[in-house]
Amino acid sequence: MDKVQYSTSVKDINQNYVEAQYAVRGLVPSTAAKIQEEIKNGKQYPFESITELNIGNPQTFGQKPISFNRSILASMLDPSILQHQSEDVQRRVKHYCDKIGFQIGAYSQSPGYPVVREAIANFIQKRDGTVEKPNINDILLTDGASAGITLMFNLLLKDNKDGVMIPIPQYPLYSAVITQCGAQQIPYYLVEEKGWSAEQTELEAQYEKAKQNGITPKILVCINPGNPTGQVFDKKSIVEMIQFASEKKIVIFADEVYQENIYVENKKFISFRKVALELNLNVEIYSFHSISKGITGECGLRGGYMEITTKVDPDVHFQIHKSKTVMLCSNTIGQLMTGLMVTPPTKEEGCNDLTIQQYNEECRALFSSLQRRAAIVTQFLNETKGVSCQPIEGAMYAFPKIELSEKFIQFAKEQNQEPDVVYCLDLLKETGLVVVPGSGFLQYPGTYHFRMTILILPEERLLAKMKIFKEWHETYMSKFQ
Amino acid sequence: MDKVQYSTSVKDINQNYVEAQYAVRGLVPSTAAKIQEEIKNGKQYPFESITELNIGNPQTFGQKPISFNRSILASMLDPSILQHQSEDVQRRVKHYCDKIGFQIGAYSQSPGYPVVREAIANFIQKRDGTVEKPNINDILLTDGASAGITLMFNLLLKDNKDGVMIPIPQYPLYSAVITQCGAQQIPYYLVEEKGWSAEQTELEAQYEKAKQNGITPKILVCINPGNPTGQVFDKKSIVEMIQFASEKKIVIFADEVYQENIYVENKKFISFRKVALELNLNVEIYSFHSISKGITGECGLRGGYMEITTKVDPDVHFQIHKSKTVMLCSNTIGQLMTGLMVTPPTKEEGCNDLTIQQYNEECRALFSSLQRRAAIVTQFLNETKGVSCQPIEGAMYAFPKIELSEKFIQFAKEQNQEPDVVYCLDLLKETGLVVVPGSGFLQYPGTYHFRMTILILPEERLLAKMKIFKEWHETYMSKFQ
């Protein structure tokens, strides 16, 4: 048969998209999917099934959704079951329906339901303890935080001279979308030994270096709590970053999707908004939040919001809203779940003690299990020879450093692969554990890491898997001494 | 107070995004929103509330969702109510859960649930009556058709020399996203007098003209049934478009979201895929479908799919899948609703007669009401002096031509507005009817139109509104004779 002549080959399409990489669903996870398929077809591996630690996806491990929230969503979709729900669920459904009707199958306004944005404004004000309350026109509901971040990159980045300062290591959404936009990455390295701290001097140095290379730094990305690194910024760090952005007149993207996920006693979540209001500096900050993380964990429903936390040029504000209209609206179930995330049942609302108690118990159980798992993973990794891991203060991941011998690095070179990729592929093939090579998140040259989630349930299973990891690593590495 | 110095003004951001316009949610609808707010605050208008005919959003008029589908989604969200559902609902829930668990809060695979993509493959094969059945790797689930179209434009358009052939009039998503991508629109005019037909000679002429201007035509957009124009292409037209694309080696985007919405006896839906398979030509066709239209009408849930209907370069195929991973997955409720749309309850599945009967009755009632409304709107418009409207064969809109006198055009010029914009704004202010000026869809120079949906319910209300329109138009126009 003749070779088919396609009208479109890769060289004809958008090269920025061709170049973009998204490691969280890259080579290692796709190899894992193949192995899973092979196992189904009878091929033997030294494990029964793969364990997906590549992506923060709590419900795949059986994490339960909060039942109050789900009952409300279900009743909005099928009002005929409302009679079987509790009074408190019925009241909340009525609250939403008074504003939007049983019309969740209709497009909403492009920025999202006003009733949900109002609830978010209240939540933000209360969380930050500020006199100021956000205006709902500064809040836009999005299909997960990723959609908001992508929209804002596309809108704010003008051409291939524009640059985005991203922490290294970073969440690969950033590097992928910056590449898709045809803009430039400006890395600033977090200091691993200081618990992945962000240093003023590093920001300054990388900023200057970019300018010298003819790049215009436009956006500073701050991820707090950190992904993949798990650190929680203290107030001093946030103050420094805001002062830096204000001086340099660059915009801050505050990725605050893990704001509920803080596990250590001595740290708490401080929003960039709160600090910016206190400092009263001229600076433009966009904050992003999501229903996928926290204890809500509703990744599949795709909900979240972006908040324009400070005054921006009204014409830019208009462009943000206009750009949002092209995609019509984010999905209404995700919108409502975002409202539910920020509106627990309360006495003031009229809820009875049992509802509140059950809700709080579910939340507490979810949170304390995450907290225990963060500790288990940190401990096991640090007890593994040749592995070290900064404390997982927040978020849902460990990003341990692995010491790779010269012999191993040579071994990887012979395969034309990054050393951490070879490591992760062999870990996968021999244990079924799917983790993401550090190179996908970027890392300090000459250091090697991987990212794994802390999400395995039940906790005994996590313990068992961590033991498997420890034994595998030590045996595997001994071959390359 | 000093003028605030913003670090980012409109000139600093992506000019392609600044230039993009999306008329369906543009000036007229935003004026309508202001009027609605004013009415709420007590301002008097000659109507009680605005009537949103600007957007195809059936459930805002009280169109009911199909109850079988909703019961299944609700039970997936809240399994505790499953016991209150019918056996047939329970069986279907079990079918989905056997494949994906009660894990709709987890991210799915990036292209979407395999169980849904398999259902779509079966649906397509049956719909087209072909021996060939699509491969599920050629089907990707999307948050509405818009998301799929946007992804594919972003991926396939390389630079500002690349052009997209779009029908005029067109759905403004196309012009907006092409502008956002920085690529070029290549208009081809549909012939209104021939029922908005697409003519081979026009395609050829516009193609050549673009080439002469240094533009590379890459994509041919075909909307069938037409939006905003409502025509249904016959087989001859589709054959011609496919032959044209094959000869010129350009890709076809087949926007087939209104495939269920065909109201005339002498026309039926013929997919581009079916014709392409028969012709057996080398041509690359992407087809888009949605849960927002048809009789499903679930706009808010944001679901749909794109199908790579013909062989494409495997490397391009890989890039499509890779690009989809960056956004993780489309929302799972929209995914499941897409599966439900293509999988009615059947005897083979084990459903009882009552379930099937109720489902069919709901569908029939929805469809026949749309069919009656299409006829009512066509008739009223054609009975209005100075207005003519091609038969609404399909989709959900009328796109009538309005004769505007020189005097009126002068009147509009004095306001620095397009004539059809002035017309639509006055229609809004005096009747509360929100329609979209034809200029937002683009139209043949010197002709004027507007788009309105046919979705008002109940039907008596539609009749009343059409009478209001007719009287308003004739009185208003008489002032400009």
Q: What are the structural domain ranges in chain A? A: 13-62+363-478, 88-341
Residues of B in contact with A180 (CB under 8 A): 154, 323, 326
The residue of chain A nearest to residue B248, with distances taken between CA atoms, is A7
Residues with pLDDT less than 70, chain A = 1-4, 24-25
The pLDDT value given to residue B237: 96
Would you call B36 an interface residue with chain A, using a CB distance cutoff of 8 Å?
no
Supply the DSSP symbol for B398: E
CB contact under 8 A, B316 and A9: yes
Question: For the range A198-206, what are the long-range contacts, defined as Cβ-Cβ under 8 Å and sequence gap of 24 or more?
Answer: A198/A167, A198/A222, A198/A233, A198/A237, A198/A240, A198/A241, A200/A240, A200/A244, A203/A165, A203/A240, A203/A241, A203/A244, A204/A244, A206/A165
CB A173 within 8 A of CB A182: no
What CA–CA distance (Å, rounded) separates B410 from A375?
A: 75
Question: For the range A15-20, what are the long-range contacts, defined as Cβ-Cβ under 8 Å and sequence gap of 24 or more?
Answer: A15/B158, A16/A179, A16/A180, A16/A181, A16/A182, A17/A180, A17/B154, A17/B155, A17/B319, A17/B323, A18/B319, A19/A179, A20/A175, A20/A176, A20/A177, A20/A179, A20/A180, A20/B322, A20/B323, A20/B326
What CA–CA distance (Å, rounded) separates A41 from A39?
A: 5
Helix or strand holding residue B278 (H, E): helix B272-279
Residue where the block lists tokens 């309105």: B452
Residues of A in contact with B340 (CB under 8 A): none
Residues of B in contact with A147 (CB under 8 A): 327
Task: Considering only the beta carbons, identify the residue of A80, A176, A249 that sits closest to B7.
Answer: A249
Task: Considering only the beta carbons, identify the residue of B9, B14, B322 that sits closest to A157.
Answer: B14
Task: Provide the CB-side half-sphere exposure for B296 (13 A, CA).
Answer: 30
The pLDDT value given to residue B4: 65
Would you call A19 an interface residue with chain B, using a CB distance cutoff of 8 Å?
no
Would you call A52 an interface residue with chain B, using a CB distance cutoff of 8 Å?
no
Task: Considering only the beta carbons, identify the residue of B14, B146, B301 that sits closest to A105.
Answer: B301
Residues B69-86 pLDDT 10s: 999 999 999 999 999 999
Does domain B107-341 fall under CATH 3.90.420.10? My reply is: no
Would you call B164 an interface residue with chain A, using a CB distance cutoff of 8 Å?
no
Asked if the model's pLDDT at residue B25 lies above 90, the reply is: no
Residues of B in contact with A314 (CB under 8 A): none
Residues of A in contact with B323 (CB under 8 A): 17, 20, 180
- From the CB of residue B51, how many other CB atoms can be counted at a distance below 10 Å? 24
CA A29 → CA A11, A268, B346, distances in Å?
26, 33, 38
3-state secondary structure of A319: helix
Alpha helices in A194-251 (DSSP H): 200-212, 235-248
Q: Provide the pairing of β-strand B401-402 with B387-388.
A: antiparallel
What CA–CA distance (Å, rounded) separates A78 from B11?
A: 47
How many CB contacts within 8 angstroms connect chain A with chain B? 270
CB B97 within 8 A of CB B114: no
- From the CB of residue A247, how many other CB atoms can be counted at a distance below 10 Å? 13
Asked if the model's pLDDT at residue B199 lies above 90, the reply is: yes
The pLDDT value given to residue B1: 41
What CA–CA distance (Å, rounded) separates A243 from B269?
A: 61
pLDDT-derived band of residue B344, with 50, 70 and 90 as boundaries?
very high
Residues of A in contact with B71 (CB under 8 A): 78, 80-81
Task: Considering only the beta carbons, identify the residue of A14, A55, A332 that sits closest to B107.
Answer: A55
Task: Considering only the beta carbons, identify the residue of B25, B71, B333 that sits closest to A301.
Answer: B333
CA B74 → CA A76, A419, B84, distances in Å?
8, 47, 11
Residues of B in contact with A9 (CB under 8 A): 313, 315-316
- Enter the tokens of residue A99: 């504003």
Q: Which residues pair with A308 in a beta bridge?
A: A286
Question: For the range A359-362, what are the long-range contacts, defined as Cβ-Cβ under 8 Å and sequence gap of 24 or more?
Answer: A359/A66, A359/A68, A362/A64, A362/A66, A362/A67, A362/A68
Would you call B297 an interface residue with chain A, using a CB distance cutoff of 8 Å?
yes
Q: What angle do CA A97, B147, A178 make, to 5 degrees?
A: 115
What CA–CA distance (Å, rounded) separates A468 from A297?
A: 27
Does domain B10-62+363-478 fall under CATH 3.90.1150.10? My reply is: yes
Residues of B in contact with A160 (CB under 8 A): none
Residues of B in contact with A326 (CB under 8 A): 20, 22, 146, 150, 173, 176-177, 180
Asked if the model's pLDDT at residue B3 lies above 70, the reply is: no
Concatenating the DSSP letter of every residue in A52-78 gives: E-SS--GGGGTPPPPHHHHHHHHHHH-
Would you call A86 an interface residue with chain B, using a CB distance cutoff of 8 Å?
no
Amino acid at position B19, single letter: E
CB contact under 8 A, A144 and B6: no
Amino acid at position A192, single letter: E
Alpha helices in B342-352 (DSSP H): none
Q: Which residues pair with A14 in a beta bridge?
A: none
Residue where the block lists tokens 């003028």: B3
pLDDT-derived band of residue B42, with 50, 70 and 90 as boundaries?
very high
The pLDDT value given to residue A158: 95
Mutate to test the interface with A, among B37, B86, B295, B326 (most CBs of A within 10 A): B326
- Enter the tokens of residue B442: 């683009």
Alpha helices in A266-341 (DSSP H): 272-279, 314-326, 332-341
Residue where the block lists tokens 């000139």: B11
Concatenating the DSSP letter of every residue in B23-63 gives: GGGSHHHHHHHHHHHHHHTT---SSSS-EE-SS--GGGGTP
The pLDDT value given to residue A3: 58
Would you call B87 an interface residue with chain A, using a CB distance cutoff of 8 Å?
no
Q: What are phi and psi of A70, to 5 degrees?
A: -65, -35
The pLDDT value given to residue B456: 93
Task: Considering only the beta carbons, identify the residue of A74, A84, A316 that sits closest to B8.
Answer: A316
The hierarchical CATH code for the domain A88-341 is 3.40.640.10
CB contact under 8 A, B331 and A329: no
Would you call B49 an interface residue with chain A, using a CB distance cutoff of 8 Å?
no
Residues of B in contact with A150 (CB under 8 A): 326-327
Would you call B322 an interface residue with chain A, using a CB distance cutoff of 8 Å?
yes
The hierarchical CATH code for the domain A13-62+363-478 is 3.90.1150.10
Residues of B in contact with A334 (CB under 8 A): 331
Can you list the positions of beta strands (E) in A262-415?
285-290, 304-308, 387-388, 397-398, 401-402
Task: Considering only the beta carbons, identify the residue of B59, B107, B292 that sits closest to A299.
Answer: B107
Residues of B in contact with A25 (CB under 8 A): 110, 325, 328
Q: Min CA distance, A353 vs chain B (Å)?
A: 21
- From the CB of residue B321, how many other CB atoms can be counted at a distance below 10 Å? 16
Residues of A in contact with B177 (CB under 8 A): 326
Number of residues that make up chain B: 481
Amino acid at position B304, single letter: G
Can you list the positions of beta strands (E) in B202-350?
216-223, 251-255, 285-290, 304-308
Q: Provide the pairing of β-strand A397-398 with A450-453.
A: antiparallel
CB contact under 8 A, B156 and A13: yes
Would you call A439 an interface residue with chain B, using a CB distance cutoff of 8 Å?
no
3-state secondary structure of B332: helix
Task: Considering only the beta carbons, identify the residue of B12, B143, B177 that sits closest to A326.
Answer: B177
Concatenating the DSSP letter of every residue in B91-122 gives: HHHHHHHHHHTT-TTS---TT--HHHHHHHHH
Task: Considering only the beta carbons, identify the residue of B84, B147, B283 that sits closest to A81.
Answer: B84
Q: What are phi and psi of B269, to 5 degrees?
A: -75, 130
The residue of chain B nearest to residue A175, with distances taken between CA atoms, is B326
Task: Considering only the beta carbons, identify the residue of B8, B22, B57 that sits closest to A156.
Answer: B8
Q: What are phi and psi of A164, to 5 degrees?
A: -125, 125
Q: Min CA distance, A256 vs chain B (Å)?
A: 18
Rounding to the nearest 10 degrees, give the CA dihedral for residues A206, A209, A214, A219.
Answer: 10
Task: Considering only the beta carbons, identify the residue of B17, B283, B301 that sits closest to A331.
Answer: B301
| B196 conformational bin, left if phi > 0, alpha if psi -120 to 50, beta if neither | left
Helix or strand holding residue A16 (H, E): helix A15-19
Question: For the range A26-29, what are the long-range contacts, defined as Cβ-Cβ under 8 Å and sequence gap of 24 or more?
Answer: A26/A436, A26/A440, A27/A421, A27/A425, A28/A54, A28/A421, A28/A424, A28/A425, A28/A428, A28/A434, A28/A435, A28/A436, A28/A437, A29/A54, A29/A55, A29/A434, A29/A436
Would you call B251 an interface residue with chain A, using a CB distance cutoff of 8 Å?
yes
Would you call A200 an interface residue with chain B, using a CB distance cutoff of 8 Å?
no
Residues of A in contact with B143 (CB under 8 A): 143, 302, 327, 331
